[in-house]
Amino acid sequence: LVTGTPNAACAGKFFELATNPLSGWEVHNWTIRDNPHIRDADEEVSRLMQQNGWTPDSPAYRREYLGEWVRDTESLVFALDNDRNVFPTFPEDSTDDWAYVLGVDIGYNDPCAFVVMAYSMRKREAWIVESYKEEKLIPSKAAMHVERLREKYPFVKIVVDTGGMGKGYAEEWKEKHQIPAEPAKKQNKLAYVEMFNGELRTGSIKIALDRNKQLIDEMRLIQRDVTKVQNGRFEIDQRFADHLCDAAIYASRECAHQAHNEAKESPRPGDKDYLGYRLKQIEKKIFAEDEPELPW
**pLDDT digits 0-9 by tens, 57-111:** 988 899 999 999 998 888 899 999 999 999 999 987 766 789 999 999 999 889 9
Long-range (24+ apart) CB contacts under 8 A made by 29-35 are 29/67, 30/67, 31/65, 31/66, 31/67, 32/65, 32/66
How far, rounded to the nearest angstrom, does the alpha carbon of residue 261 sit from its chain's CA centroid?
A: 24
pLDDT at position 145 is 97
Residue 128 has pLDDT above 90, yes or no: yes
Q: Which of 58-67, 182-191, 193-202, 224-233 is predicted with the least confidence, judged by mean pLDDT?
A: 224-233
Angstrom distance (rounded) from CA 220 to CA 8:
9
pLDDT at position 249 is 95
Query: Between these two residues, 215 and 94, which has the higher pLDDT value?
Result: 215
Contact predicate 77/239, CB 8 Å? no
Angstrom distance (rounded) from CA 149 to CA 143:
10
Residue 34: pLDDT band with limits 50, 70, 90: very high
Beta-carbon contacts of residue 18 (< 8 Å; ≥ 6 apart): 2, 6, 25, 27, 69
Angstrom distance (rounded) from CA 160 to CA 186:
10
Residues 129-178 have pLDDT tens digits of: 999 999 999 999 999 999 999 999 999 999 999 888 888 999 999 999 99
With both helix axes pointing from N to C terminus, report the angle between 41-52 and 59-66 in degrees, rounded to the nearest 10.
Answer: 150
Residue 270 has pLDDT above 70, yes or no: no
pLDDT at position 263 is 43
Residue 293: pLDDT band with limits 50, 70, 90: very low
Residue 231 has pLDDT above 60, yes or no: no
Per-chain mean pLDDT for the chain: 86
Query: Between these two residues, 190 and 118, which has the higher pLDDT value?
Result: 118
pLDDT at position 144 is 96
**Runs of H (alpha helix) within 160-288:** 166-177, 189-202, 213-221, 243-252, 260-265, 274-286
